[in-house]
A and B are shown apart, each in its own frame.
Chain A
Amino acid sequence: MLRAFVLGIPILIVIYYVVIGLLPFAQRRKARHAATLVLGGAAVVLALIPLVLLITHLVREGWGGLSLDFFTQDQKPIGQTGGGMRHAIIGSLIIVGMASCIGIPVGVLAGIYLAEVGKGKFAATIRFLSEVLTGLPSIIAGILGYTLIVMRYNQFSAIAGAVALAILMIPVITRVTEEAILLVPKSMREASYGLGSSQTQTVIKVVLPAARSAILTGIVLAVARVGGETAPLLLTAVGQSTLQTDVTKSMAALPLSIYLNANQPFDSSQQLAVTGALFLVLWIAFVNLTISAIAAKTRPRLS
């Protein structure tokens, strides 16, 4: 079947050009337009097929495992059936929570700096670097967490993972905050200054409230995104099969547990990985759906 497909496409292209060549001018233009529409539609379908296949596969294979046990039990010893991902979910919450405590304030303040305070070459450099840093490969953040924290204390730790995730978070939140603040009309600031407010008062009481929903949307998306990161944690928090709440020790995280379980040759481990993946995808779809419902107009772009 695929062979017919592989050979059929060149034949179709030849037929298309022959037909186009034979048609009179006016029809030829219409035919080209129609062909472009078909091509564009095909691109949409091709882009979305993997998404549909992925979600249907995860739902079909993982739905059964999404029981109460999944949320209330830790992983069983490898090879045994049952068990859950309580330890990984809690671990993810702790690591991402710590990363947010570093990443959100720094990112938002840097965004305010770019939009309200900074001028000239220095600010332009920061703006450019923050844009470039959104493309930082996540594994590099992992290396950074390793060399900065793990190597220094000679101990894999959740803190090192949080630092790595914060590094990934900061440029994204900086961009989003700056763009959101720039959307606030200048007249609002002028009114505030006209009443005698300082710049601090203006930003805190006028500008930030006006940009709040856009900034919050961006923060939620950025946090959700680092919540799915695996590579940085592989080098820093490395994972655990039991519940661990000491942040100076290695800790489990949901994406990490999915990866480690997927690499095991046992059905039970694979099942746990698929269920974990389904939970992660549902969670991310939920966050995206909520946000696009709440703030369809203010949604910033992340890439």
Chain B
Amino acid sequence: MATIPADRTPSTIPTKSKFRWDDGIFRSLTTAAGGAVLAIVIITAYQLVTGSLPALEKEGLGFLTGSSWNVGEELFGSLPFVWGTTISSILALVLGGSIGVMLSAFLVELAPKWLLKPIGFLVDLLAAIPSIIYGLWGILVLIPFLRERVFPEIHAVFGWTGLFGEKSTGTGLLTAGIVLAIMIIPTVAAITREVLLVVPRNMRDGALALGANRTEALKTVMLPYASGGILGALILGLGRALGETMAVAMVIGNSATIESDLFKPAASLASNIATEFGEAGPLQKSALIGLGLILFILALALNFAARMLVARVRRKSGVQ
């Protein structure tokens, strides 16, 4: 063991002096697999850019700024879908993000211990149910319920704001936001839980020793300490909501329009790709791949930012 260089740990390269043919194969094989992850990112970016080039060349900057998507006239402006994606995701974040954070804060710090396991299992199940099932439930249960019972009431109280119109089919931005909210709760809850658990125990214990009750320890010590990571959890939830496809496609109404009325049908980047791709001509396909490119950049940027924030809290606590 004397051959171990001082700067290496035993678990990595123990016997540099002796050539091991099997290690050579092992290393190149695993490195190639690691490289595959990098390759996926590069190939995806390359394919999306080349695939969308015909539409981008035709539309130019209008692809980003155009507010009209008309297949018949070969007009491809992505703004309606950016609008639909942004609004439905922000609604989801407001509704689902707050619930996710409260749920995890409650489970980590306040809830009785016997509740943890069953609720943890149910939240995991919530995360495991496929998008398509939420979409189906949205069509069969949620949309009729919202249309008959909820939307008229909201219109009656808040109709004056202009955000909640009178006529609604039940599909639309708000419905999509509600379904997305349900779907991002587990994501937000999981990451929030993770960052709350790495808050140093002695900080929390210190607050309790000073006479704070558990609510006060949570509010004054744990949440502020983990705030960056919780922001990361919310951004990650936003990233999930942006890319969600099938559930949104089934409840948003699929109409390439920009309306401030949350009860009106709209379309998101992902949902529009899913619904139009099958019957699209070559130029339209290229424009749809362009929507994919926008989505890819948005999702990667959000995930990037979120992972950075979560990693910072972990580093601050000395975890890894």
Q: Taking beta carbons and an 8 Å cutoff, which residues of A are in contact with B?
A: 2-3, 6-7, 29-30, 32-33, 36-37, 39-44, 46-48, 50-51, 53-54, 57-58, 61, 105-110, 112-114, 116-119, 122-123, 125-126, 128-140, 142-144, 146-148, 167, 170-171, 174, 186, 189-190, 193-194, 198-201, 203, 221, 224-225, 228-231, 234-235, 238, 255, 258-259, 262, 270, 273-274, 277, 280-281, 284-285, 287-289, 292, 296, 301-303
Q: Are the C-beta atoms of A230 and B246 separated by less than 8 Å? A: yes
Q: Are the C-beta atoms of B37 and A170 separated by less than 8 Å? A: yes
Q: Assuming the A-B contacts A40-B111, A148-B47, A292-B124, are A132 and B136 also in contact, with contact meaning beta carbons closer than 8 angstroms in the complex?
A: no
Whether, in the assembled complex, B169 has its beta carbon less than 8 Å from a beta carbon of chain A, the answer is no
Interfacial chain A residues near B186, Cβ < 8 Å: 303
The residue in chain A whose Cβ has the minimal distance to the Cβ of B295 is A137
* A7 to B156 CA separation, bound complex (whole angstroms): 12
The A contact surface, by secondary structure, is helix
Contact of B246 among A112, A133, A231 (CB under 8 A): A231
The residue in chain B whose Cβ has the minimal distance to the Cβ of A131 is B307
* A27 to B246 CA separation, bound complex (whole angstroms): 50
Q: Are the C-beta atoms of A285 and B125 separated by less than 8 Å? A: yes
User: Nearest Cβ in chain A — how far from B140, in angstroms?
Assistant: 7
Q: Assuming the A-B contacts A132-B303, A234-B274, are A303 and B37 also in contact, with contact meaning beta carbons closer than 8 angstroms in the complex?
A: no
Interfacial chain A residues near B139, Cβ < 8 Å: 262
Beyond known contacts A2-B149, A284-B128: 6 more, CB 8 A cutoff: A3-B156, A48-B126, A140-B243, A148-B47, A186-B9, A189-B10
Whether, in the assembled complex, B72 has its beta carbon less than 8 Å from a beta carbon of chain A, the answer is no
Contact of B132 among A106, A123, A189, A255 (CB under 8 A): A255
Q: Assuming the A-B contacts A3-B157, A33-B214, A221-B128, are A126 and B38 also in contact, with contact meaning beta carbons closer than 8 angstroms in the complex?
A: yes
Q: Are the C-beta atoms of B132 and A258 separated by less than 8 Å? A: yes
Q: Assuming the A-B contacts A129-B37, A230-B130, A234-B274, are A47 and B189 also in contact, with contact meaning beta carbons closer than 8 angstroms in the complex?
A: yes
In this complex, the member of B32, B102, B136 whose beta carbon has the largest number of chain A beta carbons within 10 angstroms is B136
Q: Are the C-beta atoms of A109 and B29 separated by less than 8 Å? A: yes
User: Nearest Cβ in chain A — how far from B76, in angstroms?
Assistant: 16
> Of the 9-residue stretches B56-64, B115-123, B199-207, which lies at the interface with chain A?
B115-123
How many A-B contacts if CB must be within 8 Å?
315
Q: Are the C-beta atoms of A136 and B132 separated by less than 8 Å? A: no
Interfacial chain A residues near B51, Cβ < 8 Å: 143, 147
User: Nearest Cβ in chain A — how far from B99, in angstroms?
Assistant: 5
The residue in chain B whose Cβ has the minimal distance to the Cβ of A6 is B157
Whether, in the assembled complex, B135 has its beta carbon less than 8 Å from a beta carbon of chain A, the answer is yes
User: Nearest Cβ in chain A — how far from B221, in angstroms?
Assistant: 14
Q: Are the C-beta atoms of A186 and B11 separated by less than 8 Å? A: yes
Q: Assuming the A-B contacts A2-B150, A109-B30, are A130 and B37 also in contact, with contact meaning beta carbons closer than 8 angstroms in the complex?
A: yes
- Interface size of B by CB at 8 A reads 111
Whether, in the assembled complex, B143 has its beta carbon less than 8 Å from a beta carbon of chain A, the answer is no
* A224 to B23 CA separation, bound complex (whole angstroms): 33
User: Nearest Cβ in chain B — how far from A223, in angstroms?
Assistant: 12
Interfacial chain B residues near A138, Cβ < 8 Å: 131, 243, 245
8 closest residue pairs by CB, A with B:
A137-B243, A40-B106, A228-B130, A109-B33, A43-B102, A113-B30, A113-B34, A135-B303
* A235 to B274 CA separation, bound complex (whole angstroms): 7
Q: Are the C-beta atoms of B23 and A235 separated by less than 8 Å? A: no
Q: Are the C-beta atoms of A170 and B185 separated by less than 8 Å? A: no
Q: Assuming the A-B contacts A143-B289, A231-B270, are A277 and B132 also in contact, with contact meaning beta carbons closer than 8 angstroms in the complex?
A: yes
Interfacial chain B residues near A273, Cβ < 8 Å: 136
* A262 to B139 CA separation, bound complex (whole angstroms): 9
* A245 to B78 CA separation, bound complex (whole angstroms): 38
Q: Are the C-beta atoms of B33 and A106 separated by less than 8 Å? A: yes
User: Nearest Cβ in chain A — how far from B44, in angstroms?
Assistant: 6
* A146 to B156 CA separation, bound complex (whole angstroms): 47
The residue in chain A whose Cβ has the minimal distance to the Cβ of B41 is A129
User: Nearest Cβ in chain A — how far from B147, in angstroms?
Assistant: 13
Q: Are the C-beta atoms of B270 and A43 separated by less than 8 Å? A: no
User: Nearest Cβ in chain A — how far from B166, in angstroms?
Assistant: 15
